[in-house]
């Protein structure tokens, strides 16, 4: 059982750091796609989806859907206006 604690703690710490980094990244860059977030923040796609879902549930970010000219759907992640006012941007 003690071995599991050491496996769980680093992932929680990693999520908490991403919880802080991603909103500031989005505030600087307006809206970004999942691919751009993964590339620029250096996070894998699965962890990014988990963190972005949690941030959206807490109203730190908003999600919008767009379509490219060839019909592909893209989801944009943006920082919410309420959070921008809190961090004075």
Predicted confidence at residue 3, as pLDDT, reads: 36
CATH for 79: 1.10.10.10
Predicted confidence at residue 17, as pLDDT, reads: 77
Q: What is the mean pLDDT of each run of 10 residues along the chain (89 residues)?
A: 36 63 84 92 90 90 91 90 64
Measured distance CA(47)–CA(15) in Å, rounded: 8
Q: How far is CA 4 from CA 1, 51, 65, 71, in A?
A: 5, 22, 38, 45
Predicted confidence at residue 1, as pLDDT, reads: 38
- Domain span at residue 36 reads 2-86
The tally of domains found in the chain comes to 1
């Amino acid at each position: 059982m003690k071995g599991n604690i050491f496996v769980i703690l680093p992932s929680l710490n990693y999520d908490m750091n991403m919880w802080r980094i991603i909103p500031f990244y989005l505030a600087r860059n307006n809206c970004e796609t999942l691919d751009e977030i993964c590339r620029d923040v250096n996070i894998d796609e699965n962890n990014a989806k988990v963190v972005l879902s949690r941030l959206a549930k807490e109203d730190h970010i908003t999600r919008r859907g767009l379509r490219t000219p060839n019909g592909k759907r893209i989801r944009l992640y943006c920082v919410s206006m309420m959070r921008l006012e809190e961090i004075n941007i």
